[in-house]
C-alpha cells in the first residue's frame, strides 16, 4: 500500500478527464496541517495554460472521479490548491507497509544504471588533511544513496599518484632520511623530506636538475626509482586505509593517475587528429576562448602531460571499460574551471554521447578557532581531527558510562566522534562553506550526529524494553493513529522515499540529513505527549505506539546508514 502512488494515480486520472493530455497530479506535504495532509498545486499552472479558471479546474478535478477510500476529504483552497486529507487507517497501513518493505519504499529508479563516482582521491605521499574530508564523506554518502536507489555504482579512488613532485620526493627520500626512517617510513616523513628537498631546489640549480633527471628516470621505468615510488604508494595506501576504515568508506577501484599514463600520448594524438589541439609556444593546447573557457594545456613544452590530459584519458578508459550512464566527480569548488574545461573537451571528442559527466563541488570547510592549529602550520591532518573527535566524545562517554569496560568506552567514543564529524559535514548543503565547531558538532541537543545517534539508541532501548516486558515483537502489531502528533510522525515517515530520491537526484546528502533531523524532532514531540510503556497506558494504545516507534527506528537507522553515520546500540 503506497498512499502517495494511489493519490497521485487518482489525481492524474482526474486531471486528464478535466484537461485531456495534461500532466497533473503531483502531491507534496501540506504547508499547514490544518488544511490537510497533502496538497496538489498543479491546477493553477495547468488552468492558466488552458485559459480556464484555476479554482473551477481544481473543483472539477475533485469531482471528476469518485474519491478513493484512502482519502477522507479533498477540497479547493486559495487560488486553486487541492488540499487532501488522508484517512488515518490508510496512513497507518502505509507506514506498516513501508517499514516492512526491503527498500523501505525507496523507488528503485536507478534501474541498475551504471554510475562511476570518483571521490576522495587524495594525493599520495601527503597526509590527508581536512580538505579531503568533504570529498570522502560527501562522495561516500552519494555512493550509498545511489546504491539504495538501485543504481550500479562503481566507486573509484582516483589517487594523485603521478606527477612532477616525485623527482623531488625521490631525492628527499634518498638524502634526508636515515636507514631507520626508511625502514619505518610514514607519510609524515615523506612530507617532511619533500619540503626539505623542495626548498633545496630553490637554492641549488644542480639539485633542481637532479630532481628532474630522477623524474625522467622514473617515467622511463627505471627499476630503482620505480621501486621507491611503489613504496611511497604502499605507505600512503596503508595510512589512507586506516582513515577509510575509521570512516567506514570503501572503494571498488583504486585507480590512480599512474594507471592512465600509457594512454596520455594517444589521448593527445586523438586531440590532434580531431583538430582540437593546436601548438602554441611549443606546447599543445586546446583553445576554447571562443566558448568563454580558458586555454587548456594538454602537453607541456617539456613533453609532460598534465591533470587535464589525465582526466580526458580517464573518461575514455572508463567509458570503454564500463559504459556508464554517468560519471560523478566530487571535489572542492576550486576545481570548477578544470572540470568545465575537460568536460567540454570530452564532449567535442564524442565521449559524452552515452555518458553524462557531472561535477559535484563543495565549499571549503573552515575552522574558526585555534583548536586545530598545529605547530607545523595550519594544515590539519585528517587523522588528527578524527583523534580529537574521539577524545572529546570520550569525555562524554566517561561521564555517562563510568562502569563500562575500556573497550566498550573506546568503541562508543569512536562512533560518536566519527558520527559527529561526518554529520557536521553532511548536514550542510555541499555548496556552502562550513565553519566547523566542536560545540555544534558534538551538541547532544541540536542538529548534530550525536543527537540523531542518541535518538536511535533510545528507540533501541524502548523497543528492547517492550519485547522484554510484553513479550511480543513490535513489528507484528498494527498501527492505529489516534492523536495529531502520531499522525504528523506517520506522515513524515511516508516522506522517506522522497527524501532519498531527492538527495540522490540532487547529489545532496544534506536533503536526507534534514529529513532525519526532522524525523527525530517529530518523534521527540510524539514521545513527550504520547506515553508508550508508562503504567496506565491502554495495551492497544501501547502496542500501536510501539509499532510506530519501530517504524521510526527502522527508517532512522537505515537513513543514518545511507549517510555513513555509525549507529551504536546504546549511547
Binding site for ligand ARG (CB under 6 A): 118, 121-123, 158, 160, 311, 314, 329, 331
| Dist CA 182 CA 515 (whole Å) | 50
263 Cβ contact list (under 8 Å, min separation 6) = 313, 316, 317
3-state secondary structure of 316: helix
**Are the C-beta atoms of 570 and 461 separated by less than 8 Å?**
yes
Nearer to ligand ARG, 311 or 383 (CB): 311
Q: In whole angstroms, how far apart are CA 131 and each of 312, 382, 427, 514?
A: 24, 8, 17, 23
Shortest Å distance, C-beta 155 to ligand ARG: 12
| Dist CA 328 CA 430 (whole Å) | 14
Nearer to ligand ARG, 37 or 311 (CB): 311
Shortest Å distance, C-beta 315 to ligand ARG: 9
Count CB-CB contacts under 10 A for residue 405: 9
Nearer to ligand ARG, 158 or 508 (CB): 158
Shortest Å distance, C-beta 257 to ligand ARG: 8
Nearer to ligand ARG, 12 or 146 (CB): 146
Nearer to ligand ARG, 105 or 139 (CB): 139
Shortest Å distance, C-beta 420 to ligand ARG: 24
140 Cβ contact list (under 8 Å, min separation 6) = 119, 120, 155, 247, 248, 249, 564
Nearer to ligand ARG, 101 or 333 (CB): 333
Q: Which of 500, 448, 479 minimizes the C-alpha distance to 551?
A: 479
Shortest Å distance, C-beta 308 to ligand ARG: 9
Nearer to ligand ARG, 129 or 394 (CB): 129
**Are the C-beta atoms of 352 and 345 separated by less than 8 Å?**
no
Shortest Å distance, C-beta 387 to ligand ARG: 22
Element (H, E) at 129: none
Nearer to ligand ARG, 207 or 329 (CB): 329
Estimate the crossing angle of helix 449-470 against helix 406-426, to 10 degrees.
130
128 Cβ contact list (under 8 Å, min separation 6) = 122, 136, 239, 240, 243, 381, 382, 383
Shortest Å distance, C-beta 222 to ligand ARG: 24
170 Cβ contact list (under 8 Å, min separation 6) = 211, 214, 215, 218, 225, 228, 229
| Dist CA 556 CA 550 (whole Å) | 10
| Dist CA 395 CA 343 (whole Å) | 48
Compute the radius of gyration of the chain from its Cα atoms: 28
Element (H, E) at 114: strand 114-118
Shortest Å distance, C-beta 59 to ligand ARG: 54
| Dist CA 225 CA 219 (whole Å) | 9
| Dist CA 277 CA 295 (whole Å) | 10
Nearer to ligand ARG, 126 or 508 (CB): 126
Nearer to ligand ARG, 238 or 334 (CB): 334
The cell numbers describing 460, all together, are 533501541
Shortest Å distance, C-beta 253 to ligand ARG: 12
Element (H, E) at 179: helix 179-183
Nearer to ligand ARG, 121 or 165 (CB): 121
Shortest Å distance, C-beta 327 to ligand ARG: 9
Shortest Å distance, C-beta 126 to ligand ARG: 9
Amino acid at each position: 500500500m503506497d498512499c502517495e502512488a494511489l493519490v497521485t494515480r487518482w489525481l492524474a486520472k482526474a486531471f486528464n478527464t478535466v484537461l485531456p493530455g495534461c500532466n497533473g497530479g503531483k502531491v507534496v506535504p501540506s504547508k499547514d496541517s490544518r488544511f490537510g495532509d497533502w496538497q496538489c498545486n498543479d491546477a493553477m499552472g495547468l488552468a492558466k495554460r488552458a485559459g480556464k479558471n484555476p479554482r473551477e479546474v481544481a473543483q472539477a478535478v475533485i469531482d471528476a472521479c469518485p474519491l478513493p477510500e484512502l482519502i477522507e476529504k479533498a477540497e479547493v483552497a486559495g487560488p486553486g490548491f487541492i488540499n487532501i486529507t488522508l484517512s488515518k487507517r490508510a496512513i497507518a497501513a502505509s507506514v506498516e507497509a513501508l517499514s516492512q518493505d526491503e527498500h523501505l519504499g525507496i523507488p528503485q529508479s536507478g534501474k541498475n544504471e551504471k554510475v562511476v563516482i570518483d571521490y576522495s582521491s587524495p594525493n599520495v605521499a601527503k597526509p590527508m588533511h581536512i580538505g579531503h574530508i568533504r570529498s570522502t564523506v560527501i562522495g561516500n554518502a552519494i555512493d550509498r544513496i545511489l546504491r539504495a536507489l538501485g543504481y550500479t555504482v562503481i566507486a573509484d579512488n582516483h589517487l594523485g599518484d603521478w606527477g612532477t613532485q616525485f623527482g623531488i620526493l625521490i631525492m628527499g627520500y634518498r638524502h634526508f632520511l636515515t636507514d631507520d626512517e626508511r625502514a619505518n617510513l610514514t607519510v609524515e616523513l615523506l612530507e617532511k623530506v619533500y619540503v626539505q628537498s623542495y626548498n633545496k631546489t630553490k637554492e641549488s640549480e644542480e639539485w633542481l636538475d637532479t630532481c628532474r633527471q630522477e623524474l625522467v628516470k622514473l617515467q622511463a621505468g627505471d627499476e630503482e626509482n620505480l621501486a621507491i615510488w611503489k613504496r611511497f604508494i604502499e605507505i600512503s595506501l596503508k595510512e589512507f586505509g586506516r582513515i577509510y576504515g575509521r570512516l567506514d568508506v570503501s572503494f571498488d577501484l583504486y585507480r590512480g593517475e599512474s594507471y592512465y599514463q600509457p594512454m596520455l600520448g594517444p589521448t593527445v594524438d586523438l586531440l590532434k587528429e580531431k583538430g582540437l589541439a593546436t601548438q602554441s609556444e611549443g606546447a599543445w593546447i586546446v583553445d576554447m576562448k571562443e566558448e568563454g573557457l580558458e586555454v587548456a594545456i594538454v602537453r607541456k613544452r617539456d613533453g609532460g602531460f598534465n591533470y587535464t590530459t589525465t582526466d580526458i584519458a580517464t573518461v575514455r578508459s572508463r567509458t570503454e571499460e564500463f559504459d556508464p550512464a554517468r560519471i560523478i566527480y566530487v571535489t572542492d569548488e576550486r576545481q570548477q574551471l578544470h572540470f568545465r574545461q575537460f568536460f567540454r573537451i570530452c564532449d567535442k571528442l564524442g565521449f559524452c554521447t552515452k555518458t553524462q559527466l557531472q561535477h559535484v563541488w563543495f565549499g571549503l570547510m573552515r575552522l574558526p578557532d585555534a583548536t586545530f592549529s598545529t605547530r607545523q602550520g595550519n594544515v590539519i591532518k585528517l587523522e588528527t581531527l578524527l583523534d580529537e573527535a574521539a577524545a572529546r566524545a570520550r569525555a562524554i562517554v566517561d561521564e555517562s558510562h563510568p562502569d563500562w569496560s575500556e573497550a566498550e568506552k573506546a568503541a562508543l567514543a569512536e562512533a560518536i566522534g566519527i558520527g559527529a564529524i561526518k554529520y557536521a559535514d553532511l548536514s550542510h548543503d555541499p555548496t556552502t562553506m562550513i565553519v566547523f565547531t566542536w560545540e555544534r558538532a558534538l551538541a547532544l541537543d541540536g542538529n548534530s550526529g550525536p543527537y540523531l545517534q542518541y535518538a536511535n539508541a533510545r528507540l533501541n532501548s524502548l523497543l528492547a524494553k517492550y519485547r522484554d516486558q510484553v513479550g511480543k515483537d513490535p513489528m507484528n502489531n498494527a498501527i492505529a493513529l489516534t492523536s495529531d502528533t502520531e499522525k504528523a510522525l506517520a506522515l513524515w515517515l511516508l516522506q522517506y522515499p522522497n527524501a532519498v530520491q531527492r538527495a540522490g537526484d540532487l547529489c545532496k546528502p544534506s536533503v536526507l540529513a534534514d529529513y532525519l533531523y526532522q524525523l527525530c524532532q517529530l518523534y521527540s514531540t510524539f514521545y513527550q505527549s504520547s506515553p508508550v510503556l508508562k503504567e496506565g497506558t491502554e495495551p492497544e494504545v501501547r502496542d500501536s505506539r510501539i509499532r510506530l516507534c519501530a517504524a521510526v527506528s527502522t527508517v532512522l537507522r537505515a537513513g543514518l546508514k545511507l549517510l555513513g553515520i555509525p549507529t551504536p546500540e546504546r549511547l
